Amino acid sequence: MTTNKKSVSRDADEIILAKEMIMLGARLQVVESETALSRERLAKLYRELQGCAAPKGMLPFSVDWYMTWMPNIHSSMFYGIYRFLARETHLEGVRLTVRAYRLYRNQVACQTHGVGTPTLSFTRAWMLIRFFESRMLQLSACTQCKGEFVAHAHAIRHNYMCAICRPPPRAGKKRRPSAAKSTSASASSSASSLTSSSSASSTPSSTISKQLSDTTFTGVDPDPAAGAPDNPATALDPSDPNPHIA
């Protein structure tokens, strides 16, 4: 009896953990590897929480992604939070990753006022921990700000400068949203005008022939052999009560 209660409570704990991971944006493969729940149950839970089917495809496995400008800053911030919680709390495993990512996301939301999505997704944060555990990544201290940032394993640490102290030439140069919106609006308006003009110019020939057949010409003999009268004034008028021939 005790075994059944323990299994039920453990199953409930894993469902709660899977729910937290899915709500944070975890891929189904990550949740499946961290819980003992079946894939069918996780797929149903994912559809119930997100309102759509789980995305398919491979997990991101590139280490070079963490070396680019903005991802390197966010990855270093997340890993700093992860190390702090690992040192100051009793959390471990995926629960430590969930708590660290939640704090990271709250910090990013405070900086951006809740606009946009975090640069570092939960799946990439989970992969970052795996890369550190497999010793594919390391922390290197910047010689200018003295902060520790994510770097390749066995990379040269002498005179290392972080992405904040030495940003790339085009760092932060993005297209303004207002200009992009105006460009898309003008493009859509021109496309709609072209569509309307093309639809107006491409009138079917059957419609034109039907209009010509429905049109009646007053004073014209329908018999083509008779031909048209020489004088239109001498033509018979069907509306005249006293028809006469001039």
> Within 10 A of 78 (CB to CB), how many other CB atoms are there?
27
Residue 193's pLDDT band (boundaries 50, 70, 90)? low
Place of tokens 């003999």: 221
Q: Are 145 and 162 in contact (CB under 8 A)?
A: yes
From residue 122, alpha-carbon distances to 14, 40, 86, 96 in Å are 18, 22, 18, 12
DSSP SS3 for 118: coil
Q: Cβ-count burial of 15 within 10 angstroms (0-12 exposed, 13-18 middle, 19+ buried)?
A: middle
CB 37 within 8 A of CB 139: no
pLDDT recorded at residue 159: 86
**Tokens 């005179």 found at:** 159
State pLDDT tens for residues 11-58.
999 999 999 999 999 999 999 999 999 999 999 999 999 999 999 889
Q: How far apart (Å, rounded) are the C-alpha atoms in residues 172 and 74?
A: 14
The residue among 36, 146, 144, 14 whose CA lies nearest residue 80 is 146
| Phi-psi label, residue 23: left if phi above 0, alpha if psi -120 to 50, beta otherwise | alpha
Query: Which of 23-37, 101-115, 140-154, 228-242 is least confident?
Result: 228-242
CA dist 21 and 125 (Å) reads 12
pLDDT digit string (tens) for 87-96? 999 999 999 9
pLDDT of residue 136: 94
Under DSSP, the state recorded for 54 is P
Region of 68 please: left (phi>0), alpha (psi -120 to 50) or beta: beta
**pLDDT of residue 141 exceeding 80:** yes
Model pLDDT, residue 111: 76
pLDDT in tens, 149-183: 999 998 877 888 998 998 888 766 665 545 444 44
Are the beta carbons of 161 and 155 closer than 8 angstroms?
Answer: no
